[in-house]
Amino acid sequence: MPPVKSESRWIPEFRERYAAWWPQAAPLIERHDYGAAFKDYPWPAFTHSPWAPVTKALAESRIAVVSTGGLYCHERHVPFDAKSGEGDWTWRAIPATVPIGLLGIAHDHFAHEVAREDMNTIFPLDRLRDLAAAGVIGGVAATHYSVMGYCPRAADLAEESAPAIASSLQAEGVDAALVIPV
């Protein structure tokens, strides 16, 4: 199976604009003045939707979770680098067998209270299991994924993490991913 590639036409221009943006933004981010730092962020603009049409009934589909909550398994992963001004564009594969209450959160850019009270708010694996048991979905993927939602280096996320996650989902026969932005 060939590796999955993301739409990349926007990346060279983004990298150029990012390189011009970063020197002014870095000191603002260091001071946690995100409003001022991101006022001139070079947001990528897309002219078309990358989504594929749904071709399989939900009741027959295997579903995965992809969260931007910066989740990791204490026993198997190094936490995301939540302190980096440029974010962390890496990803963590989380087996479906891991109890979600045992996941750690390494993402400093959102309040964790609600997530700690019910991790399903940012990683609804238990809800997917309920839907599978009720026959609403065909099954729950064996592996789920997390990235850290704070990642100004969008090109690195698009070139490295997104294709790797997509390839892994495809290799496991996942039909759809529930993307949970945090």
Do 86 and 160 lie in a common domain? yes
Task: Show the domain range for 118.
Answer: 58-180
Give yes or no for residue 114 having a pLDDT over 80. yes
The model's pTM is 0.91
Do 34 and 68 lie in a common domain? no
- Average pLDDT estimate for 155-168: 93
What's the structural domain count of the chain? 2
Do 87 and 137 lie in a common domain? yes
Does some domain include residue 65?
yes
Does some domain include residue 45?
no
pLDDT at residue 113, rounded to an integer: 92
pLDDT at residue 9, rounded to an integer: 86
Does some domain include residue 118?
yes
Does some domain include residue 51?
no
Q: Is 12 exposed, middle or buried (0-12, 13-18, 19+ CB in 10 A)?
A: exposed
Do 92 and 158 lie in a common domain? yes
Does some domain include residue 111?
yes
Using CA atoms, how far residue 150 sits from 55, 133, 173, in Å, is: 32, 34, 29
1-50 confidence digits (pLDDT tens): 556 656 788 999 999 999 999 999 999 999 999 999 999 999 998 877 77
Does some domain include residue 46?
no
Do 117 and 175 lie in a common domain? yes
Does some domain include residue 53?
no
Do 31 and 71 lie in a common domain? no
- Average pLDDT estimate for 101-113: 90
Q: Is 23 exposed, middle or buried (0-12, 13-18, 19+ CB in 10 A)?
A: exposed
pLDDT at residue 152, rounded to an integer: 95
- Comparing CA positions, the residue from 86, 99, 93 lying closest to residue 166 is 93
Do 114 and 25 lie in a common domain? no
